[in-house]
Amino acid sequence: MGFVGKFWKVLVGVKDGLVLLFMLLFFVTLFAALSASPSPAKVREGALYIDLTGFVVEERAPIDPWGALLSRSAPPTQHQARDVVRALDAAVGDDRIKAVVMDLTTFVGGGQVHMQEIAEAMDRVRKADKPVLTYALGYGDDHMHLASHASEVWLDPLGGATIRGPGGSFLFYAELLKKLNVNARVYRVGEFKAAVEPYVLNAMSPQARENIEGLYGALWEEWKANVAKGRPDLDLDGVTQNPLEWIEANDGDLAKASLAAGLVDTLGNRVEFGERVAELAGADEWDEKPGSYASTSLSAFLADHPSSTQGKAIAVVTVAGGIVDGNAGPGTAGGDRIARILDKALNSDVAGLVVRVDSPGGSVIASEEIRRAIDRYREKDLPVAVSFANVAASGGYWVATAGDHIFAQPETITGSIGVFAILPTFEGTASELGVNADAIRTTPLSGQPDIIDGLTPEVEGIFQASINDTYADFIERVSQARSIPGDEVDRIAQGRVWDGGTARQIKLVDQFGGLEDALAWVAGQAGLEDGGWHAKFLDEPEEGFDALIRQLLSNNVAKSETRQGGDMFALAAQSRNRTLARLLADAERLGGSHGVQAYCLECPAIERPLPEPVAKLSTLKALRALLAD
């Protein structure tokens, strides 16, 4: 009994210790969460301070709390474009806000449509006689898109501004796969469907080059027009056409060159910038550090200006990122997840639906599942508008065929109506390694597909026939949705990618406009008056740990990498990371378990958070991972 009693006391002690530990963790977590949560009480008279560290996205991806804590690093910060626009519009009528400060020091980028939406909101602030100031160590294309609409553009004297314009290299693996004896079997429909070319060619086909050059040219013209409108005195030709001559004329001082060309207005450090803001918005009575000024953070300001909930609800569903089978997302368009939240909202009292698309496409099965869920709204005679953001191509356009009316912007990338599938086989590799296959078949399909022995002609024919049929389905959906004859759709399809302006001319979209225009159209179709409706976003609720984790983990990925982004070498390092991300994504696309894809691989890359492994891999490790995939 003595031993049992002692053992029991040990168990009770362990139990009490665990209870105390969990209680301690609970209260620490609760305190940190409350401290991290924005409070309207934090809004005060002064400047609205918008720190755009990280990326601007359509839909913010949630943080995996356990993954982030175990890796001891928080993912890069993501800002939803609509939140930034809402804050800027609220600042127009808020008498407490005397100026807006946009800190672009650790801003990485976003899509061209999102940049223009934020830029137009900045214009509305300035029209209310409230100055908008930007500050950065280095300005790139997306930085300048925003800064060109500011009242004052400040640059650190050790920094600089450069404009690259759209374009860059595409990677091709045909020679590598040949050396590895890998047979990349490609099944596709579409003369311009360049998504599979990296695996079968060593350079762009003439059709792909023609298409992409035209698209990039249109996007570049839109960018220049938007920037020139904000900064008409900018020497854009000198900066972009003769960059070396421009910099050498200023003795290699990129900051002075940026000032001379009109890219920026003032060179000054952060303290000098803060002193200027204090002149406009007032000094900070609580903080006497050099360069401080009275300000309110973006999160606190948004908490003080919640979205309206008055009137009838118009549902808004977001299809952002690659379209995949399953429950992935937000930030990735999982077909099951989006269909589920659409069906759930269908049973509530909504006046209509807006589908916000920012996706290069993906799985045909998932795209069709989302399309069917959207179509169920039309079956109930509810108006459905589709609003395109930066990209609505391939599967992103497949989804849109369920809408009544499609809105896009001139900078929107759309089309890419085509499908493909890739199936690698390794008969050559196996033979080289001394592995041979000897088959017994009762039918031509026995044991097929066989990645070691190869595919029979019958299987090859069936796969291509399936792709042809899926493409025909795509054409039919577009033809019915857009009231365009099928042969005409096929002519403008073939996997070709279009800018928003051209897409409107060929009737792939109905009119120019953003999300608010799409909401207003649905409200009008539903007979709702101004003020009699509000947008109800159907995103599943975020985990409440995001702010807490970002507060607990000091080594934020975006900050740690982009704070070095003021010189050309650091910008080159960021380009390296994007290249590594493309390498790994291409390898996964070749070897992953994907079905038929309606995906726009050739669409210009939008700045997005890099996959966590890429952010940490060296070049050598990334190449090893690619070859080992």
Instruction: Report CA-CA distances (Å) from 385 to 118, 236, 391, 400.
Output: 22, 37, 16, 9
518 token code pair: 């799409």
**Measured CA angle at 51 (ends 46, 535), to 5 deg:** 90
Spatial neighbors of 115 by CB under 8 A, at least 6 apart, are 56, 142, 145, 146
> What strands lie across the sheet with 152-161, from one edge to the other?
266-267, 152-161, 132-139, 97-103, 46-51, 295-297
Q: What letter would DSSP give residue 40? A: G
Burial of 191 (0-12, 13-18, 19+ CB in 10 A): middle
Pairing of strands 533-537, 312-320: parallel
Closest Cα partner for 500 from 490, 510, 489, 485? 510
| 394 a catalytic residue | yes
Is residue 156 a contact partner of residue 175, using CB atoms and an 8 Å limit?
no
Spatial neighbors of 427 by CB under 8 A, at least 6 apart, are 181, 183, 437, 452, 453, 454
Of the candidates 73, 193, 416, 536, the residue annotated as catalytic is 193
130 token code pair: 């409230």
Question: How big, in percent rounded to 5, are the helix, strand and coil portions of the chain?
Answer: 50, 20, 35
Burial of 417 (0-12, 13-18, 19+ CB in 10 A): buried
| 205 a catalytic residue | no
How many residues can be counted in the chain? 629
Backbone φ and ψ of 582, nearest 5°: -65, -40
The residue assigned the tokens 């609720």 is 541
The tally of CA atoms less than 13 A away on the side-chain side of residue 122 is 27
What sign for the dihedral angle of Cα 485, 488, 494, 496? Answer: negative
Spatial neighbors of 243 by CB under 8 A, at least 6 apart, are 162
Closest Cα partner for 198 from 471, 576, 582? 582
For residue 432, is it left (φ>0), alpha (ψ between -120 and 50) or beta? alpha
Of the candidates 394, 416, 479, 536, the residue annotated as catalytic is 394
Catalytic residues: 193, 394
